[in-house]
A and B are shown apart, each in its own frame.
Chain A
Amino acid sequence: MSWAAVVFTFALVDNVILSRLLGLETGDGARGGTRSVWLGGSIAVLMSVSAVAAWTLDSLLLVPLGLTMLRTPLLVFVVAGIALGFQALAARFLPAVLERSGVSIPRVGVNCVVLGLVLITTRAEYGALQSFLAGLAAGAGYLLASAMMGAIRERLEIEAVPPVLRGVPLQLITAGLMAYAFMAFDRGFLARLLGA
């Protein structure tokens, strides 16, 4: 897969939120606003670095030694370790930014979206650079979907909606309808876009 195809696939065609349904389980996926940008940025960086670390672990250790059954626990530890490392670095060098953003990096690390992306890239046997780009593109896709859902949520708050549908149910239904809309970005779209 070409680099451009990797970017468009993970940002639009195979969007982590709307196609893979990752990242909504914590409720952070429908935020919108400045915090959404920080969250999307943190997730993009975490996913990129974790995907490269996972590629290194998988291709240099697990596959050569036939230890692929240990892939899940080891990838979970790698992602958690990287998240804790980023948290420590951010607390040391950017404490004000960390506090203002309100983002807990370890919590983001154990979000399904990071481990999910790492599992996708290792199972698809992507190279190091492809994995890195996939992480960045998936982060951009997360940010795009999250910002759009946040904007729709703000509009719906002033509408007359049955009380039982307010909040979480309406966010899920909105995400469902957006997932249908994103189906316009399919493999055919990608082929036409890249002239393949």
Chain B
Amino acid sequence: MDTVSSRTREAPLVMLLLTLVPSIAVAVRVADALWLAAGAVLVMTGSSVARAILDGARPAGTPETGTPAADGPGEEDRTARWLRALVISSLLTAAFEAGLLAVAPAASAALGIYAPLLAVNLLVAGKGGPDPSGASPLRATLSSLRNGAWFAGGLVAIALAREVLGAGTITLFPVSGFGGTITLSPLLDQPVRALGFAGGGLLCLGYLVAAVRAVLARKGSAAPRAEASR
């Protein structure tokens, strides 16, 4: 079985979850995962909206680089689109990095190289969000927010499982009267420390993808049964 062919048969949601792989390296504490998820939503949405606006600025059917639009995007057009997505995505990531460093320097240090990696990771996730060609900025925003929510939900779910089982704590943000950390006594005494390592993140993601697949398969098989019963 070839990896690529198996990937193309996968549901888009499973593909989106697969792009979590680099980010789960630092998804060991819920608070760090929340920061990274916020960055991913920002970059994904901002990139998609910017590209939708730039696409809207060109008259319909106008080729970007002299390739007839009727013949579909040519190699030059695809490269130009790819470079444009790269520029927008990396600038938004740099803005997120600068903001994070100013607001939460400890979180910035904890995320390390994985915050700047959002620039290319989200391109893999779907070229900086769903391809907004032909979509209005509002539609592109909603679509990116939905994808960003799945990305963020997956990341936080993995971080929660790893932190609860691997350390017996849930680390959030300190507010007045609350130190920011919830301790879970039985797990604090005997944590599954292996989940805190890189391998633990991959195991959690593997089982999460399998669970999502099972739910999607059940939904898929339920739909024909509902049709037949009518």
Contacts and interface: CB of A to CB of B under 8 A. Distances in A.
Nearest to B120: A110
B1 interface: yes
Nearest to B194: A180
A171 B206 CA distance: 8
Given A73-B90, A157-B1, A164-B217, A112 B199 contact: no
A116 B14 contact: no
B202 A175 contact: yes
Interface in A1-44: 18-22, 24-28, 30-31
Contact of B206 (A25, A69, A75, A170): A170
Contacts of B91: 73
A65 interface: no
B187 interface: no
Interface in B197-230: 197-203, 205-207, 209-211, 213-214, 217
Contacts of A18: 198-199
Main secondary structure of the interface of A (DSSP, over half): helix
A71 to B, nearest CB: 8
B192 interface: no
Nearest to B198: A179
A167 B209 CA distance: 10
B124 interface: yes
A115 B119 CA distance: 10
B117 A176 contact: no
A76 interface: yes
Nearest to A32: B3
Given A21-B25, A27-B3, A173-B202, A116 B113 contact: yes
Main secondary structure of the interface of B (DSSP, over half): helix
Interface string A74-116: 0111001000100000000000000000000010001110011
A11 B202 CA distance: 20
Contact of B197 (A69, A71, A112, A180): A180
Given A80-B86, A164-B213, 12 more contacts: A21-B21, A25-B19, A25-B121, A69-B97, A73-B119, A76-B120, A110-B120, A112-B120, A119-B116, A123-B113, A153-B1, A164-B211
Interface of B: 1, 3-4, 6-7, 10, 14, 18-22, 24-25, 79, 82-83, 86-87, 89-91, 93-94, 97-98, 112-113, 116-117, 119-121, 123-125, 194, 197-203, 205-207, 209-211, 213-214, 217
Interface of A: 18-22, 24-28, 30-31, 69-73, 75-77, 80, 84, 106, 110-112, 115-116, 119-120, 123, 153, 157, 162-165, 167-173, 175-180, 183
